Amino acid sequence: MSGRSLNKISILSGDGIGPEVITQALKVLTAVEIKYSIKWTIEHALIGACAIDATGDPFPEASLIACQSADAILLGAIGDPKYDNDPSALIRPEQGLLRMRKALGLFANIRPVKIYNQLLHLSVFKPEILKDVDFVIYRELTGGIYFGEKIKEATYSSDLCLYHRYEIERITHLAFQQAMTRKKKLTLVDKANVLETSRLWRSVVKELSDQYPEVTLDFLFIDNAAMQVILNPSRFDVVLCDNLFGDILSDEASVLSGSMGLLPSASKGDTSALYEPIHGSYPQAAGKDIANPLATILSVEMMLRDFGYFLEADDILKSVDKCIADGFLTEDLRPQVSFKCSEVGDKVAGLIFKNK
């Protein structure tokens, strides 16, 4: 992140396959340390179901302190079927994630969507639909319906969708700044024909666009945007969404690549930055050494690039690209002849040393 150095990294492995993919990411991080003579301080902390099991709290105070004292945070995944299958549970793993975002002020979630030509056959989409697809979604992360007042009565329930102007302004500036480094196009996704919060979003974004005259701004209602992700995904460059719409649209967009195990993400605030794969905890695969670690490894690449380690980040990208090109992949990408999660981690880490 601009103006900040990377000295301490907090690791929250989480639940399910989280510890397995994080282990592979740490292999790659260690390879970078050795090759470039860097030393980062690593601290592990709990979040999610494992934190509930250990402390009764999905995001205990010790974890908050570890995250607050870190320059960057690397998260695996959270979630456990014993909570998913119990709607009456008062304490849930997801509460830890929401609390962490709020406590650390992580207001901007950034999800790049990249297509690998070698894996086009894995997508449910025709290759011509995926041609030139390369966009990034900016999702507001600490406002909206997820954090609004909630009412639950015997015969009705309510979730308040609330946005303040400053919440929209801060992520909009980030999205416009990203657009300036890309194709200079920004699409706001909203529901301004129905929702007052969306009308506020559209008004604020229009106003701020005057500060970025080189960027072409357009608007799509969420229902149309969801359709365009399927029919014409190459039309997008930088996509800006509120919390709910961004959550839905980014998961939908992940299908384009053929596997959620390929897509990293970052969540940023004024003083904190968190990096994580977009996939969930995938409990069915936990402990089987079959999970795809590439999204977590690419999250490390995002982290290093954000903190100015450009050569190191390029090394990770080259190594991942080489793995994909050579078909050195886990079963979600190559079910006939697949490699273990740990083997892919070893491969990417080993390739770090071979890159020129």
Task: Tell me whether residue 251 is one of the annotated catalytic residues.
Answer: yes
Q: How many CB atoms lie within 10 A of CB 194?
A: 11
Going by C-beta distance under 8 Å and a sequence separation of 6 or more, which residues neighbour residue 165?
A: 200, 204
Please, what is the Cα angle at 148 between 208 and 202, to 5 degrees?
20
Q: Which of 138, 146, 282, 309 is catalytic?
A: 146
Residue of 103, 8, 98, 113 whose CA lies nearest to 58: 98
Q: Which of 53, 86, 218, 223 is catalytic?
A: 223
Q: Which of 84, 134, 251, 314 is catalytic?
A: 251
Going by C-beta distance under 8 Å and a sequence separation of 6 or more, which residues neighbour residue 138?
A: 108, 109, 110, 171, 174, 175, 178, 238, 239, 240, 241, 246
Q: Which of 116, 190, 191, 242 is catalytic?
A: 191
Give the containing element (helix H, strand E) for 111.
Answer: strand 108-114
Residue of 35, 17, 54, 21 whose CA lies nearest to 315: 35
Task: Tell me whether residue 191 is one of the annotated catalytic residues.
Answer: yes
* Residue 154, helix vs strand vs coil: coil
Q: Which of 80, 190, 247, 332 is catalytic?
A: 247
Query: And the tokens for 190?
Result: 């909203």
Cα–Cα distance for residue pair 117/123, rounded to 1 Å = 10
Question: 61-68 vs 93-104: helix axis angle to the nearest 10?
Answer: 40
- Catalytic residue ranges: 146, 191, 223, 247, 251
